[in-house]
Structure 1
Amino acid sequence: MNRYSFISQVPTSPGSLQRGVSIITDHHGNINRIHYDRKIDPHTVFFEVTATEDGFARIREELAAIGYLQTSITPLSTLTFHVFLPHEPGALDTFLTYIAGAGAVIGKIAFDDTGSHPDRVTVTIIVEESGPADELLGMLTARYPMEVIEYDRTGEHLDDTVFYLRFAQKMRTLIGRDDDEFLLAFMADINHTAHELTNLGEDPKAVFRNVLEAGEYIRETCGDGFYADVQQFEASEEVTIYAFQLPGGGNIYLFRTLDGLVMLDTGYAVYHPDVMRMLPAYGLNLHEGLSRIIISHGDADHCGAGGFFDVPALMHPATLAIIRSGNRAWGSVNESLVLEEVYTTMIALYSRWHPPAEENISLLPKESEVKRSIFPVLGTTTIGDLTFEILLSLGGHQVGQTILWCPEKGYLFPADSLMNFSSLTPERRRYNSYADYLVTSVNVDSDLARTERKALFAMAQEYERDCGEPCTIFGGHGAISFYATGTMEIAGEMEHYTHRDGRGAPASPGGEER
């Protein structure tokens, strides 16, 4: 017995859903999940069933025979126009006969002979993009005076009777995949997320809205919409650290040393062309100077562009397992949660996931008995004249996340376990909120995350007490910040980079939206 998922299109007449369920039952299929919400879409039903291979084949065959099985996503367009009909019996009937004969569906129609336009009918029709839309328009204009108001090929103006179709058309443009089989499977996954969050009291349409807005934000902040907030930090006589806050996702840190460049985390792959365009403005050339990458953890915004660089990439074995599994919650108490796995897939698609090639990956030890505070010390790494301990987190944000700590200088790179939230701009805070909403928490184990954060603050406070100067925190998101007397303060100046204006404009962390 195997588990299968599929999408069904059912009529709204009484008994229609039961007819489909009976076919599943007749072939000994067991329904594991069903989701239908007339308020979202009156026709679409999502099924997950357990059945034999032969049984499922027969289920699909019989559902297809009665038109219940959805196997493709036909792009639809809307055409809105005014048509001037003669005011006589049968005029509208004749007009609608032409519409039906062309295979188009009426979306809206409005006419009132007592209104300001007693001879004008306003019509919206829904047509298959590959169908005879232009031919229909030509035929109508040959017979009637007409004014075309809008011809929308995006599906933006489709109504909620085809909600999932409209959603799918938007998703096509965001994920870079056009094959219907993949898109149907991904729609089923997103529906499963909506199902889970609805059970937690969320509005299902708000779930779909958050899914789309996350992808739209990433798309809109590429190319001409790309920007970054940048800090340059003189870490020692031999090392300058550049922090690049990208529009969405985690920071990229570049260490410039006398021997070249070292990268800590890569940002999203979708931003890679923009990052490569930006770096020369700061005198940085990754193609010639990059010697290695250190990956803090397996989220797409921290390792997702590593595949563009043919250099060694250092990571924990659990991070490699997360990359291979496609589940950011691998190895955690939340590993089996649908929300985590679907979110991982969604962000990988939006961000054009391209992690380091396996032949370039160098693995840290899994564990160590030596500890710094509560964190195992997996080893050390030297960057220029700075030596960092590589600490293993407890797995609060993600299993296998590593932390860099330079005890001599008080430099702490805690990845996503700690950051200066107040330094995030409203745009970045809003983007980060999508993950919190869609997986309920960005941490795979919130209790462990709180324990880690408390221990990291204690390390920073201990350094301040012993050395008489603040600890410097290089968070996975947000600005480089000094931590002293229990507060974080942005370290030095930040400048705002755009492709149009280049570098130099003062950044406005935590301020108004740009």
Structure 2
Amino acid sequence: MPDEPGSLERAANVITKYDGNINRIQYDRRIDPCTVFYEVTTTDANYRKITSDLEKLGYLQNSLQPASFLKFFVHLPHTPGSLSRFLKYTTKSGANIGFIDFDDTGRYPDRLTVSLNLENPAAVDQLLDQLKSRYHLEILEYDITGKHLDDTIFYVRFAQEIRDLIGESENTFLLSFLADTNHIAQELMNRGNNPQQVFDSVLQTGRTLRATTGKFFYADIQKISVTSSVDLFCFQLPCGGNIYVLTSEKENLMIDTGYGIYHDDVRAMFLHYGLGDEDRFTQLVISHADADHCGAGGFYSAGALMHPGTRDIIKTNNRAYGSRSEHSILEAFYTKMINLFSRFCPPKKIHCLPPAGPETCSIFPVLGTVTIGDISLEILEGLGGHTHGQIYLYSRNEGLLFTADAVINFSSLTPDRAAYNSLADFLVTSVNVDSDLARRERKALLELAADTDQYLSTKQKRCRICGGHGAVSVVENGKLAAFGDVIRYKQTYN
């Protein structure tokens, strides 16, 4: 919309004319002086009439073409009307002036500095041809990639940065994504947060994932001998959750898969550690539905064992499904965003666990068991604190407790991993969909670990807590401490 009095009223009158109900409106000229978001409920027929009338007014944004940025000096004659004549050319070209500077008492009294944004690339060349034939120009910057656009067209620039992260996308998808991003910015602004931090956090999430793949990929590794025939690997990926692999002579069991964007790098890492290719993995167990724990499952032929609630979250594309936070716009947006940036490829062959029976372990119902080699792990049903359907794996005899995201050794996270995790904390305000239940689960799991330590004390064993992030740890003096050596893996490229 034009940044002038009456624009909002004219749009509202069009919506009212066709019985549209405005559910949401958001405008903040500090973000973008010419973009307003409306969400409207109406009939299909009236929707078409509303959009048609808005388009006739020139208000409807239905595409997000990469805009060009042009900055130049122009030398104007110091006569009345010079500026007005010059501006007629920029106006006719459809240029949006982001910056203009002139002072006849300054160092260059005949020089005007101008920066322009133009959505039609052909208009840039046409404008330059017109100006060059009439004025002396000095081009300072000319960019057609959208990287140097200023905030006078903030959302066009933001869309271009999203394109850079995910590749070319249809206008319909980008417009929907911008509307969702604007909605969470509005929600977090209402909670006292800076909107710029919202947009920066979204972009930083995507940039960090892209910047930690290929030659920039790394992982921190722990290898633990569990029995004479089974070893445990913990792979801490650059961002997101851990991958655990229990390996025997004949098969591998994977607990969680990491992000889809890391799959090629993880495959090379598995080969490096002698774990073989995808076919070697005969079992997948998914602790919960967040993309950093199940987002590469579709690359493996093995079926994935999970809670029905995890399957439902994957289907609904909302990590808060099944919880008291189910209708949170923050949770719904974050799920869509992280699935997009992380190249979400969830398991295709899903095997759901049966309903809980009467057996329990601590406060957790026992849903079944999974075995590899001479190890049997109980599958425990969580209470839904982190996400609905989160499960835990437990072997009392071998001192293994896979706690997913309920218990994490935060002190073992590198600064880069901690910074990445803080982006999610900010965007959803809490990574737990029910904080009260999450606290109860954590307390019970730590008590279970302590009880297991006591049980194993005569066998010279400890309960190894395998959290969803960070190092495999044991409890020392009431705190989690990394167990054994942690080594850094870095992929080598010729």
With normalisation by structure 1, the TM-score equals: 0.90
Deviation of 1:471 after TM superposition, in Å, equals 1.4
- Tell me how far apart the structure 2 counterparts of residues 59 and 143 of structure 1 sit (CA, whole Å): 43
8 A contact 1:129–1:153 mirrored in 2: no
Structure 1 counterpart SS, 2:114: strand
8 A contact 2:397–2:456 mirrored in 1: no
Structure 2 counterpart SS, 1:121: strand
Equivalent position amino acid for 2:434 in 1: D
1:22 aligned onto 2:13: yes
Aligned partner (choices 163, 175, 189) of residue 172 of structure 1 = 163
Task: Show CA shifts across 1:446-499 (max 9, x none).
Answer: 000000000000001111222224311111001111223312111122122223
Structure 2 counterpart SS, 1:131: helix
Aligned partner (choices 341, 346, 353) of residue 337 of structure 2 = 346
Partner of 2:428: 439
Partner of 2:413: 424
Deviation of 1:354 after TM superposition, in Å, equals 0.7
Partner of 2:154: 163
Partner of 2:192: 201
- Tell me how far apart the structure 2 counterparts of residues 401 and 458 of structure 1 sit (CA, whole Å): 19
Aligned partner (choices 291, 296, 299) of residue 308 of structure 1 = 299
Of 459-468 and 471-480, more deviation after overlay is shown by: 459-468
1:222 aligned onto 2:213: yes
Deviation of 1:114 after TM superposition, in Å, equals 4.4
8 A contact 1:395–1:401 mirrored in 2: yes
Structure 2 counterpart SS, 1:132: helix
- Tell me how far apart the structure 1 counterparts of residues 135 and 30 of structure 2 sit (CA, whole Å): 37
Deviation of 1:161 after TM superposition, in Å, equals 2.5
Structure 2 counterpart SS, 1:335: coil
Deviation of 1:294 after TM superposition, in Å, equals 0.9
Partner of 1:495: 487
Query: Residues 278 and 364 of structure 1: is their aligned pair in 2 closer, same or farther, counting only changes over 3 Å?
Result: same
Structure 1 counterpart SS, 2:235: strand
1:279 aligned onto 2:270: yes
- Tell me how far apart the structure 2 counterparts of residues 299 and 293 of structure 1 sit (CA, whole Å): 15
Aligned partner (choices 234, 237, 241) of residue 246 of structure 1 = 237
- Tell me how far apart the structure 2 counterparts of residues 300 and 176 of structure 1 sit (CA, whole Å): 20
Task: Show CA shifts across 1:24-70 (max 9, x none).
Answer: 11212222221122222222221222222222222222212212222
Aligned partner (choices 364, 371, 381) of residue 370 of structure 2 = 381
Query: Residues 237 and 138 of structure 1: is their aligned pair in 2 closer, same or farther, counting only changes over 3 Å?
Result: farther
Structure 2 counterpart SS, 1:443: coil
Query: Residues 153 and 235 of structure 1: is their aligned pair in 2 closer, same or farther, counting only changes over 3 Å?
Result: farther
Of 31-40 and 440-449, more deviation after overlay is shown by: 31-40
Aligned partner (choices 452, 470, 481) of residue 473 of structure 2 = 481
8 A contact 1:176–1:349 mirrored in 2: no
Deviation of 1:187 after TM superposition, in Å, equals 1.1
8 A contact 1:470–1:484 mirrored in 2: no
- Tell me how far apart the structure 2 counterparts of residues 227 and 142 of structure 1 sit (CA, whole Å): 55
8 A contact 2:25–2:39 mirrored in 1: yes
Aligned residues with identical type, % of pairs? 51
- Tell me how far apart the structure 2 counterparts of residues 118 and 52 of structure 1 sit (CA, whole Å): 58
RMSD over aligned CA atoms reads 2.1
1:458 aligned onto 2:447: yes
- Tell me how far apart the structure 2 counterparts of residues 97 and 385 of structure 1 sit (CA, whole Å): 82
Partner of 1:4: none
Partner of 1:232: 223
Aligned partner (choices 107, 110, 115) of residue 101 of structure 2 = 110
**Alignment length (residue pairs):** 491
Aligned partner (choices 292, 296, 310) of residue 287 of structure 2 = 296
Deviation of 1:231 after TM superposition, in Å, equals 1.5
Structure 2 counterpart SS, 1:44: coil
* Unaligned segments of structure 2, at least 5 residues: none
Deviation of 1:128 after TM superposition, in Å, equals 2.2
Deviation of 1:152 after TM superposition, in Å, equals 2.7
Equivalent position amino acid for 1:233 in 2: I
8 A contact 1:461–1:484 mirrored in 2: no
Task: Show CA shifts across 1:336-355 (max 9, x none).
Answer: 11111111001011111110
Of 422-431 and 232-241, more deviation after overlay is shown by: 232-241
* Unaligned segments of structure 1, at least 5 residues: 1-9, 503-514
1:255 aligned onto 2:246: yes
Structure 2 counterparts to residues 18-57 of structure 1, below 5 A: 18-57=9-48
With normalisation by structure 2, the TM-score equals: 0.94
Structure 2 counterparts to residues 114-129 of structure 1, below 5 A: 114-128=105-119
Query: Residues 214 and 492 of structure 1: is their aligned pair in 2 closer, same or farther, counting only changes over 3 Å?
Result: same
Query: Residues 150 and 286 of structure 1: is their aligned pair in 2 closer, same or farther, counting only changes over 3 Å?
Result: same
Structure 2 counterparts to residues 356-375 of structure 1, below 5 A: 356-357=347-348, 360-375=349-364
Aligned partner (choices 176, 179, 193) of residue 185 of structure 1 = 176
1:80 aligned onto 2:71: yes
Of 85-94 and 384-393, more deviation after overlay is shown by: 85-94
Structure 1 counterpart SS, 2:324: coil
Structure 2 counterparts to residues 148-159 of structure 1, below 5 A: 148-159=139-150
Structure 2 counterpart SS, 1:448: helix
Deviation of 1:97 after TM superposition, in Å, equals 4.1
Task: Show CA shifts across 1:423-452 (max 9, x none).
Answer: 001111111111111111101110000000
Deviation of 1:74 after TM superposition, in Å, equals 2.4
- Tell me how far apart the structure 1 counterparts of residues 488 and 437 of structure 2 sit (CA, whole Å): 35
- Tell me how far apart the structure 1 counterparts of residues 175 and 271 of structure 2 sit (CA, whole Å): 42
Equivalent position amino acid for 2:378 in 1: E
- Tell me how far apart the structure 2 counterparts of residues 462 and 499 of structure 1 sit (CA, whole Å): 40
Query: Residues 234 and 169 of structure 1: is their aligned pair in 2 closer, same or farther, counting only changes over 3 Å?
Result: same
- Tell me how far apart the structure 2 counterparts of residues 309 and 174 of structure 1 sit (CA, whole Å): 25
- Tell me how far apart the structure 1 counterparts of residues 335 and 355 of structure 2 sit (CA, whole Å): 23
Structure 2 counterpart SS, 1:380: strand
Query: Residues 344 and 154 of structure 1: is their aligned pair in 2 closer, same or farther, counting only changes over 3 Å?
Result: same
Of 231-240 and 146-155, more deviation after overlay is shown by: 146-155
Partner of 1:335: 326
Partner of 2:391: 402
- Tell me how far apart the structure 2 counterparts of residues 46 and 497 of structure 1 sit (CA, whole Å): 46
Equivalent position amino acid for 1:417 in 2: A
Deviation of 1:170 after TM superposition, in Å, equals 1.3
Of 273-282 and 233-242, more deviation after overlay is shown by: 273-282
